[in-house]
Structure 1
Amino acid sequence: MGVLRTPLGLTATVLSLGVLVLAVVAPILWTDDAEAVDTSNILAPPSSEHWAGTDNLGRDILYRTLVATRLSVELALAATLIAVTVGLLLGTAAFVLGRRPGRLVGAGINIAVAFPGILLALFFAVIFGVGATGAVLAIGLAGAPAFGRLTQTLVASVAARDYVAAASVAGVGRLRSLFRHVLPNISEPLVVNATISAGGALLAFAGLSFLGLGVQQPQYDWGRLLFDGISSLYVNPWAALAPGIAVIIAGLAFNLFGESVAKAFGVGVVGGIPELPSVAAHLDDVAPVEDAGHAPEDVVLDVRDLRVTFPGPNGPIRPVRGVSFAVRRGEAIGVVGESGSGKSLTALAISRLVDDSGRVEADRLELLGSDLRAADTKAQRQLLGTSLAMVFQDPMTSFNPTQRMGGQLAESARHHQGLSRKDALARAVDRLRAVRISDPETRAHQYPHEFSGGMRQRAMIGMGLMGSPALIVADEPTTALDVTVQQQVLDLLADIRAADDVALLLISHDVSVVGEVCDRVLVMYAGRIVEDLPAAGLESAARHPYTRALVAAVPDMATDIDQPLAVIPGRPVDPSDVPAGCAYAARCPLASARCRAEDPPLVTEPDGSRVACWHAGEPIAIEIRDRELDHELEEVEAS
Structure 2
Amino acid sequence: MSRLKSVIRTPVGLTATVLTVGVLLLAVVAPILWSDDADAVDTGNILAGPSADHWAGTDNLGRDIFFRTLVATRLSVELALAATAIAVVVGLLLGTASFVLGRRSGRIVNAGVNIAVAFPGLLLALFFAVVFGVGATGAVLAIGLAGAPAFGRLTRTLVASVSSRDFVDAARVAGVGRVRILFRHVLPNISEPLVVNATIGAGGALLSFAGLSFLGLGVQQPSYDWGRLLFDGIGSIYVNPAAALAPGVAVVVAGLAFNLFGESVAKVLGVGVVAGIELPPSVPAMEAPPPIDDSHHDADDVVLDVRDLEVTFPGPAGPIRPVRGVTFAVRRGEAVGVVGESGSGKSLTALAVSRLVGDPGRVDASRLELLGHDLRAADSKLLRKLLGTSLAMVFQDPMTSFNPTKRMGGQLAEVARHHQGLDRRSALARAVDRMRAVRIADPEHRAHQYPHEFSGGMRQRAMIGMGLMGTPALIVADEPTTALDVTVQQQVLDLLASIRAADDVALVLISHDVAVVGQVCDRVLVMYAGKIVEDLPAADLAATARHPYTRALVAAVPDMDTDLDQPLAVIPGRPVDPADVPPGCAYAARCPLVTDRCRAQEPPLEADAGGRRVACWHAGEPVDIEIEDRQMVEVETP
TM-score normalised to structure 1 length? 0.91
**Which residue of structure 2 aligns with residue 236 of structure 1?**
240
Whole-angstrom CA distance in 1 between matches of 2:195 and 2:156: 15
RMSD: 2.0
Unaligned 5+ segments in structure 1 are 268-291, 631-639
SS in structure 1 at match of 2:308: strand
**Which residue of structure 2 aligns with residue 67 of structure 1?**
71
Match runs of 1:425-444 below 5 Å: 425-444=428-447
Kindly indicate whether the alpha-carbon contact (under 8 Å) linking 1:2 and 1:264 is maintained by their aligned counterparts in 2.
no
Whole-angstrom CA distance in 1 between matches of 2:296 and 2:629: 50
Match runs of 1:283-294 below 5 Å: none
1:229 is displaced (CA, Å) by: 1.4
Corresponding letter in the other structure for 2:486: V
TM-score normalised to structure 2 length? 0.91
Q: How many equivalent pairs are there? A: 605
Deviates more, 1:525-534 or 1:394-403: 394-403
Indicate yes or no: 2:62 matched with 1:58: yes
**Which residue of structure 1 aligns with residue 601 of structure 2?**
598
Corresponding letter in the other structure for 2:38: A
Whole-angstrom CA distance in 2 between matches of 1:197 and 1:346: 45
Whole-angstrom CA distance in 2 between matches of 1:452 and 1:314: 45
1:408 is displaced (CA, Å) by: 1.6
Give the one of 36, 43, 47 matched to 2:47: 43
After superposition, the C-alpha distances for 1:302-323 in whole angstroms (9 at most, x for unaligned) are 1000001111222211111100
1:167 is displaced (CA, Å) by: 1.2
Whole-angstrom CA distance in 1 between matches of 2:224 and 2:340: 71
Whole-angstrom CA distance in 1 between matches of 2:448 and 2:6: 26
Give the one of 582, 585, 599 matched to 1:579: 582
Kindly indicate whether the alpha-carbon contact (under 8 Å) linking 2:230 and 2:248 is maintained by their aligned counterparts in 1.
yes
Identity between Structure 1 and Structure 2 (%): 83
Whole-angstrom CA distance in 2 between matches of 1:409 and 1:263: 26
Unaligned 5+ segments in structure 2 are 272-294, 633-638
**Which residue of structure 1 aligns with residue 169 of structure 2?**
165
Kindly indicate whether the alpha-carbon contact (under 8 Å) linking 1:295 and 1:302 is maintained by their aligned counterparts in 2.
no
**Which residue of structure 2 aligns with residue 474 of structure 1?**
477
Whole-angstrom CA distance in 2 between matches of 1:266 and 1:226: 39
CA 296–212 in structure 1, closer or farther in 2 if over 3 Å, else same: farther
Kindly indicate whether the alpha-carbon contact (under 8 Å) linking 2:311 and 2:322 is maintained by their aligned counterparts in 1.
yes
Match runs of 1:104-503 below 5 Å: 104-261=108-265, 296-503=299-506
Whole-angstrom CA distance in 2 between matches of 1:358 and 1:295: 33
**Which residue of structure 2 aligns with residue 543 of structure 1?**
546
Kindly indicate whether the alpha-carbon contact (under 8 Å) linking 2:345 and 2:527 is maintained by their aligned counterparts in 1.
yes
SS in structure 2 at match of 1:539: helix
Corresponding letter in the other structure for 2:232: D
Whole-angstrom CA distance in 2 between matches of 1:387 and 1:255: 48
Whole-angstrom CA distance in 2 between matches of 1:67 and 1:156: 44
1:265 is displaced (CA, Å) by: 7.5
**Which residue of structure 2 aligns with residue 507 of structure 1?**
510
Corresponding letter in the other structure for 1:380: L
Whole-angstrom CA distance in 2 between matches of 1:426 and 1:256: 42
Corresponding letter in the other structure for 1:139: I
1:629 is displaced (CA, Å) by: 8.3
**Which residue of structure 1 aligns with residue 98 of structure 2?**
94
Whole-angstrom CA distance in 1 between matches of 2:11 and 2:106: 43
SS in structure 2 at match of 1:395: coil
Whole-angstrom CA distance in 2 between matches of 1:14 and 1:421: 38
Whole-angstrom CA distance in 2 between matches of 1:541 and 1:557: 19
1:11 is displaced (CA, Å) by: 2.8
CA 523–200 in structure 1, closer or farther in 2 if over 3 Å, else same: same
Kindly indicate whether the alpha-carbon contact (under 8 Å) linking 2:568 and 2:627 is maintained by their aligned counterparts in 1.
no
Corresponding letter in the other structure for 2:164: A
Deviates more, 1:247-256 or 1:216-225: 247-256
Indicate yes or no: 2:498 matched with 1:525: no
Whole-angstrom CA distance in 2 between matches of 1:21 and 1:629: 82
Whole-angstrom CA distance in 2 between matches of 1:411 and 1:441: 17
SS in structure 1 at match of 2:22: helix
Corresponding letter in the other structure for 2:581: V
**Which residue of structure 2 aligns with residue 285 of structure 1?**
none
1:89 is displaced (CA, Å) by: 1.0
Whole-angstrom CA distance in 2 between matches of 1:511 and 1:148: 46
**Which residue of structure 2 aligns with residue 283 of structure 1?**
none
CA 10–618 in structure 1, closer or farther in 2 if over 3 Å, else same: same
Kindly indicate whether the alpha-carbon contact (under 8 Å) linking 1:567 and 1:627 is maintained by their aligned counterparts in 2.
no
Deviates more, 1:435-444 or 1:482-491: 435-444
Corresponding letter in the other structure for 1:97: L
